[in-house]
Amino acid sequence: MADPELSEHFQLFTEIGILEQLSRARLEACLPAGFVQPQFAVLNHLARLGGGQTPGALARAFQVPKTSMTHSLSILERHALVERRPNPDDRRSALIHLTEQGHRFRARVLEQLAPDMTRLAQRFPAERISRLRAELEDLRRFLDQDRDATLALKR
């Protein structure tokens, strides 16, 4: 890239991509055999934001095709980690909820990650992480809004 400032922006996304790969590998090492990070991400999303989301809304949130989300949800359902409940607002769709077993599963994975998080905290104090997280949240919000605006322009 000719513009050094744009190069910095591209390098930021390169670093984010590498961080994603490293964090995915670390998380998947804590997951039971047969589970992958995208499935845990759905559990974590439901735990953070609460249940009651349609499969379509989850697919949009994760920016994956509905078929990919359906596959992940089927695996999570088969292990009784999520359940489908009727959508009171739309009888044609269901709402996905985290089960009590899903909450326990997530808690066990987080317990297994605790030693890694402790080592991270020893190197990067909470106040530093807080500042970095705030910056990344701001970037995420911009990218979310920009994605929606870009999609609207393409329609």
14-18, 71-75, 91-95, range with the lowest pLDDT:
91-95
Q: Does residue 152 surpass a pLDDT of 80?
A: no
Per-residue confidence at 6, pLDDT binned at 50, 70, 90? Answer: confident
Give 59-75 pLDDT, tens digit per residue: 999 999 999 999 999 99
pLDDT at 62: 93
**Token pair belonging to 35:** 């589970």
Q: Cα–Cα distance between 41 and 129 in angstroms, integer? A: 21
| DSSP bridge partners of 82 | 98
Q: Does residue 28 surpass a pLDDT of 80?
A: yes
Per-residue confidence at 150, pLDDT binned at 50, 70, 90? Answer: confident
Q: Does residue 2 surpass a pLDDT of 70?
A: no
Q: What value does the mean pLDDT of the chain take? A: 92
Strand 94-98 to 82-86 pairing: antiparallel
Name the nearest CA neighbour of 105 among 34, 25, 23, 10.
34
pLDDT at 155: 62
**Token pair belonging to 42:** 């759905």
Please state the pTM of the whole predicted model: 0.83
Q: Which long-range contacts (CB under 8 A, 24 or more apart) does 147-154 make?
A: 147/63
Percent of the chain having pLDDT more than 70? Answer: 94
